[in-house]
Amino acid sequence: MTLVLGLKTLWLLAFGSLSNTLAVNNSGRWWGIVNIASSSNLLTDSKYVQLVLDPSLQLLSRKQRKLIRQNPGILHSITGGVQSAIRECKWQFRNRRWNCPTSQSSNIFGKIVNRGCRETAFIFALTSAAVTHSVSRSCSEGSIESCTCDYRRRGPGGPDWHWGGCSDNIDFGRVFGREFVDSSERGRDLRYLTNLHNNEAGRLTVHAEMRQECKCHGMSGSCTVKTCWMRLPTFRTVGNLLKDRFDGASRVIYSNKGSNRASRVDMRHLEPENPAHKPHSPQDLVYFEKSPNFCTANSKIGTTGTTGRVCNNTSLGLDGCDLLCCGRGFRTLTERVTERCHCTFHWCCHVSCLNCTTTQTLHECL
């Protein structure tokens, strides 16, 4: 009992009083929990103490810490989501001047987060989508105490099938994502509206890609009985779609046109910068500022530049040396690579290989 009380006090200390000592500017700070030492929360007392003392948790707002306390198991799911988002971001942008650089510091994505360009929009949408995706899946895997599979679809769904099995809990994932992710945004300005819009676009993308999966039962696959459930898309599918929306993102401005004191309706919203463009849809990404060119390192903007990046000397695309190196040219390196080759299997059970050395040519931006 004393131990429990002691832990509770410790918890309150660490989780209660630290809030509001943070900078006003909380945008995306929660991503820092990806560095958390022990994300398997509340398993054992010693892990519990470790977790409470983990500095990464101080990146969360009071509301975010409360949500984590109320949903045991969810911290692990959120950090897993942020990890997928980082991997996916790097993969989608591997051939571009901005290749989603990240750091181990608490500010994972760097200063680009405080801008309002397309890359910023992509990061917000992707990380928001990742939390919804990961939490929805964790619910159906049974690793969060406060949610389960979505069992609301029941009974016959059509003439030859009925709902059954375990649907991924996208509704829980969306509601939780909105509460948790959006709560790190403050203000009423253009940046706030833009970040919230892109967060929601990410969640909507996951929701829109839910698909029905079915399984046949009955004698030797005769499919006399078919049960179906709803399944999340792969996170790659979400990444591909958000990358397309990055390419087609809409530049917006802040508008309070139509704001009417008498009706007391808050009409502040985003509209296309160019009135000739059609308004963005809820799933489109929006931005309000031109991207930096990403060619040269600039610590003020937080860009690392493309010097040293590997480019493709025959490609005319973004990964080609011309574009990737921003016209600075490139150098050619040869590397000797030794690999295991001509492997043979000997009965039983042993594999022997030869070492083959090949020469690889690489091109690197100056």
DSSP 95-161: TSSS-----SSSSTTGGGGGS-SHHHHHHHHHHHHHHHHHHHHHHHHT-STT---B----SEEETTE
Instruction: Between 94 and 215, name the residue whose CB sits nearer to ligand NAG.
Output: 94
The sign of the CA dihedral 234, 121, 107, 292 is positive
Segment contacting ligand NAG by CB under 6 A, of 8-16, 56-64, 148-156, 306-314: 306-314
Residues 57 and 65 sit within 8 Å (Cβ to Cβ): yes
Segment contacting ligand NAG by CB under 6 A, of 49-57, 124-132, 206-214, 353-361: 353-361
Instruction: Between 222 and 334, name the residue whose CB sits nearer to ligand NAG.
Output: 334
Q: Is 354 in the site for ligand NAG (CB under 6 A)?
A: yes
Segment contacting ligand NAG by CB under 6 A, of 28-36, 145-153, 158-166, 312-320: 312-320
- Candidate residues 9, 25, 212, 260; the one interacting with ligand NAG per rule CB under 6 A: 25
Token digits of residue 200: 């929601």
Q: Is 361 in the site for ligand NAG (CB under 6 A)?
A: yes
In sequence order, which residues have a C-beta less than 8 Å from that of residue 264 and are 6 or more positions away?
Answer: none
Segment contacting ligand NAG by CB under 6 A, of 71-79, 156-164, 250-258, 309-317: 309-317
Size of the site for ligand NAG (CB under 6 A): 10
Q: Is 355 in the site for ligand NAG (CB under 6 A)?
A: yes
For the CB of residue 333, give the shortest distance to ligand NAG in the complex, in Å: 10
In sequence order, which residues have a C-beta less than 8 Å from that of residue 235 and are 6 or more positions away?
Answer: 84, 88, 130, 133
Segment contacting ligand NAG by CB under 6 A, of 149-157, 165-173, 256-264, 311-319: 311-319
Q: Is 260 in the site for ligand NAG (CB under 6 A)?
A: no
Size (the chain), residues:
366
- Candidate residues 20, 222, 314, 344; the one interacting with ligand NAG per rule CB under 6 A: 314
Q: Is 103 in the site for ligand NAG (CB under 6 A)?
A: no
Q: How far apart are CA 341 and CA 352, in angstroms?
A: 9
DSSP 175-193: HHHHHHHHTT--SSSHHHH
Placement of tokens 């160019």 in the chain:
274
Q: How far apart are CA 324 and CA 308, in angstroms?
A: 10
Q: Rule CB under 6 A: which of 41-60 touch ligand NAG?
A: none
Binding site for ligand NAG (CB under 6 A): 25, 114, 191, 312-315, 354-355, 361
